[in-house]
Structure 1
């Protein structure tokens, strides 16, 4: 893999933002907020799972993901790529193929029959595992998978989210305290920048989205969602 053949981080972030808009994976709805898995009310919602249905786009995104990882973590940093149930599984398969690595996937909880496995596939003891999800807000769901891998004898020092909300200043530091370096391609900042540049929404909607990004828990609390993160 020739790193010089890939755009720099800012360009990759902008291009992913443009791709997400192009396939209509981004939704702004300030008047009827979305409820996120964390319990937060949000005027924005993104469906990264749509990426798998567009071959040219998903191939480019995997190129970006691979370039991000080898630049920030190294060429030989991982032994296995793990996808979290369910959205992370196809991206784990695609990225494992790109990096020529084995792949596993991790359930949210052990299945209730058969061997009651939570991890599917082969993970050698002490394997260095990269966990990938389509997106993350504060890393809570990612740690469901990270904890399961660590409990099974895997070593997890890195996580990859194609899209990171990046709305909590302490987010990366909190993950770092738990031993995880988070890598990502794009954030809401780039997505909002494209919306402004292309005038995709009226100014009132864009300002409401900006106010959410600047103070997400305050915005959530005023719109029927949680006003503090658990734990």
Structure 2
């Protein structure tokens, strides 16, 4: 992707999916803006262009793309369609009925899985998915996201042997980064 193309895509993402307003994170910090992944996923043209760009971030040798509920699911479905790689779907907790699975889709055991999510902040959610997949026998060393917020996720994942490959960071968006208010 060229710098001009990346800049245009960043503007489109910011226009459609970056929302100003108070947003509380699970750890209690409050941000003055947030990334609304549902607005991105609801725009078929933007979703198509985002996953086309993200496809170039997938490392060679990837065998399965795994989307984290809920924001990573539309992305992993679209990425699977674009790349031909199978998609797996990850729940934070095992389903409470039926097959009671935490991983839906193809077998991940022994296969190189790449995690897919919408936004990475602290990295805690992705790390939990990495650990769950590793227990299931999947060697996980890479994670993709649309947007990386500078709240420690890259460092946390790196400390656990996972390379974060964001399409964009907050600095790439028009207007720069948002601030943690508390």
TM score, norm. by length of structure 1? 0.72
Q: Tell me if 1:173 matches 2:155.
A: yes
Contact 2:57 2:144 in 1 (8 A): no
Q: Tell me if 1:139 matches 2:123.
A: yes
Contact 1:81 1:92 in 2 (8 A): yes
Q: Which residue of 1 aligns with 2:57?
A: 68
Give, in whole Å, the separation in 2 of the partners of 1:38 and 1:20.
25
Deviation at 1:19, TM superposition (A): 1.1
Contact 2:123 2:157 in 1 (8 A): yes
2:12 to 19, 31, 40: 19
Aligned pairs, how many? 182
Give, in whole Å, the separation in 2 of the partners of 1:38 and 1:134.
18
Give, in whole Å, the separation in 2 of the partners of 1:134 and 1:124.
21
Deviation at 1:67, TM superposition (A): 1.6
Give, in whole Å, the separation in 1 of the partners of 2:164 and 2:172.
18
Deviation at 1:125, TM superposition (A): 2.2
Q: Which residue of 1 aligns with 2:100?
A: 116
Contact 1:51 1:57 in 2 (8 A): yes
Deviation at 1:167, TM superposition (A): 4.2
More helix by share: 1
Contact 2:13 2:46 in 1 (8 A): no
Q: Which residue of 2 aligns with 1:42?
A: 31
1:195 to 155, 175, 179: 175
1:7 to 2, 11, 18: 2
Give, in whole Å, the separation in 1 of the partners of 2:103 and 2:151.
30
Report Cα offsets for 1:22-73 as digits up to 9, x if no partner: 32x21223xxx3211232111111102211221211111111101233xxx3
Q: Rg bigger for which structure?
A: 1
Give, in whole Å, the separation in 1 of the partners of 2:108 and 2:157.
25
Report Cα offsets for 1:55-105 as digits up to 9, x if no partner: 211111111101233xxx33xx21001011111111111111222111110
Report the 3-state secondary structure (helix = DSSP H, G, I; strand = E; otherwise coil) of the residue aligned with 1:141.
Answer: helix
1:155 to 139, 160, 166: 139
TM score, norm. by length of structure 2? 0.90
Q: For structure 2, list consecutive stretches of 5 or more residues without a partner in the other structure.
A: none
Which consecutive aligned stretches of 4+ in structure 1 deviate over 6 angstroms post-superposition? none
